[in-house]
Amino acid sequence: MRKVYYWASGDASLAGLKVDKPADACLLEGLPDPQPFPAWLTEADLDYYTEQFQRGGFRGPLNRYRTSDIDFAQQDEIKEKKIEQPSAFIAGSLDPVLRFVPGVDIVEMMRKQMSDLRLVELIDCAGHWVQQERPNEVNAAITRFLRGLASA
């Protein structure tokens, strides 16, 4: 758990940890186990997450990723529809997910699919766990988005 949380964090990106791996590499291969772990994830947090995964396993969380091809096939009839609701996107600027599809600007793709994307907030130096890595900045962005809804 420590390695996975660190791998996708902004701290790992800032330390120069390479997130690209060969297709035949194991997930944890070459990942450091930082000591001490960055302050945004405590030992108590890790113990809790470990306990939850030991209890429930990884199958449910991983199945979401295993079904992406099925999702695209089932959503084919609505792929041209736009999301009309007011929307916000908050991510860490170093989130590896932003670079999963080479040459594709995910935020620009969202802008084409969402007619009312009111807030795009890329929080500097944060990674995939942006809500844990930078909770104050995430809360401030959510508050700005919600206040914008109230004044509209």
d(CA 26, CA 109): 30
Cβ contact 116:87 at 8 Å: yes
Tell me, what's the pLDDT at 101?
86
Tell me, what's the pLDDT at 116?
96
CB atoms closer than 10 angstroms to residue 144: 13
Residue ranges per structural domain of the chain: 2-41+82-151
Q: Structure tokens of 124?
A: 């500097």
DSSP secondary structure, 37-77, as one string: PPTTS-HHHHHHHHHHHHHH-SHHHHHHHHTHHHHHHHTGG
| Tens digits of residue pLDDT in 35-85 | 888 999 999 999 999 999 999 998 888 888 888 889 889 988 998 899 999
Tell me, what's the pLDDT at 24?
87
Structure-token match 């670079």, residue found: 99
CB atoms closer than 10 angstroms to residue 134: 21
pLDDT-based confidence at 1, cuts 50/70/90?
A: confident
Q: Which residues pair with 123 in a beta bridge?
A: 92
Supply the pTM of this predicted model: 0.85
**Cα 48 to Cα 1, 28, 148, distances in angstroms:** 11, 20, 35
CA 77 to chain centre: 27
| Tens digits of residue pLDDT in 105-148 | 999 999 999 999 999 999 999 999 999 999 999 999 999 999 99
Cβ contact 129:9 at 8 Å: yes
Which H helix or E strand runs over 4? Answer: helix 2-7
Tell me, what's the pLDDT at 104?
93
